[in-house]
Amino acid sequence: MSFLLSILIDGLIYASWLFIVSAGLTLIYGVMRVLNMAHGSFYAIGAYTAASLVGWYFNHDELPAFGSFAVMALGAIAVGFVAGLVTERGVLRFLRGRDEVVMVLVTFGLLLVYEDLIKFIWGVQSYYASQPYSLLGSTDIGEINFVNYDLAMIGVAGVVAAVLWWSLNRTRQGKLLRAVINDRENAVALGINVNRLFMATFAIGAGLGALAGGLSAPAIAVNPGLGVEVIVLAFAVVVTGGLGSVEGALIGAVLIGLARAAAVNLWPEAELFVIYGVMACVLAFRPRGLFVLDSARKI
């Protein structure tokens, strides 16, 4: 039982991280039909920002230690939001309506630009922000000890999923977004400000990517190339779940997280293979992923 419990909890922790990383990516694609390869850079920017803020925060002994959680999360979101606005307003709005392959190439170019910009600002050395990781302590579940910070990621992912679902299904702006997703031409004809929705969606998606980076910073070494590694994993999640589907990203993250945890415990050499093996198996039977967005049938 302890062995199975270890796989379950490790899988859910990893799935939570995967979902937070990929939620912004799938949201942007669902609304804008842009597979944003630069999403990995937003993750890296969030991680570097959080690491820098945590280092600054803990140099001030008079500040309460638990305040570091708010500082790193809000700082990462703010920087990611601004980076998303600059990217959408400065580049992507001029390419709107282009073929999806063109947008992939453009955002991949932006990924490379942001990687160099990150090196220019933060250098090539690794950053460590481990203080918040140990603040919450640890918990014994059965015979296994888990760090509470990792367990808290499950709750954060649940909150992100709930907020996204509520925003898309229970708010006026969310319903406008769904109208744009289902039929962009009719949405424009009805007077919906699509440009404003695109700008807000891209900024929110970038903020979610940066939040994932900010929350990951205490548990990892923040170093160059971080964004490239992450975008490949996020891509596997959103393709498995179905491009543009937030629910699909959640289910895809859980499937991949549990499969990876099982591989780590049973067959460590197959850890990376299992992640993409799950994606391949799903696409073999459902080429568009587990959840496909509804689209208007044109006559």
What residue numbers bound the domain in which 33 lies?
Answer: 28-227
Q: What is the pLDDT of residue 293?
A: 63
98 vs 4, 33, 104, 198, 296, CA distance in Å?
48, 10, 10, 15, 20
Q: Which of 33, 143, 45 is nearest to 92 (CA)?
A: 33
Is there a domain that residue 264 lies in?
A: no
Stretches where the chain sits below pLDDT 50 are: none
The answer to the question of residue 32 being in a domain is yes
Does the residue 82 lie in any domain? Answer: yes
CA atoms of 137 and 2, how far apart (whole Å): 21
**Does any domain span residue 235?**
no
In a domain, 104, yes or no: yes
Total Cβ atoms within 10 A of residue 131? 14
Q: What is the pLDDT of residue 96?
A: 84
Predicted local confidence at residue 185, as pLDDT? 78
| Residue 127 domain flag | yes
pTM, rounded to two decimals: 0.93
SS3 of 169-211: the string is HHCHHHHHHHHHHHCHHHHHHCCCCHHHHHHHHHHHHHHHHHH
Compute the distance between CA of residue 42 and CA of residue 204 in angstroms, rounded to an integer. Answer: 11
Tell me whether residue 71 is in a domain: yes
Q: What pLDDT is attached to residue 272?
A: 80
**pLDDT given at position 157:** 95
The pLDDT value given to residue 1: 63
**Domain presence at residue 103:** yes
Taking the C-alpha atoms of residue 267 and residue 181, their distance in angstroms, rounded to an integer, is 41
pLDDT score of 129: 87
Q: What is the pLDDT of residue 266?
A: 87
Closest-CA residue to 244 (of 292, 204, 290): 292
CA-based torsion, 120, 219, 77, 87: positive or negative: positive
Distances (CA, A) of 216 to 7, 132, 154, 211: 20, 11, 13, 8
CA distance 197 to 201: 6
Is the Cβ–Cβ distance between 242 and 291 less than 8 Å? Answer: yes
Domain count, the chain: 1
Q: What is the pLDDT of residue 74?
A: 96
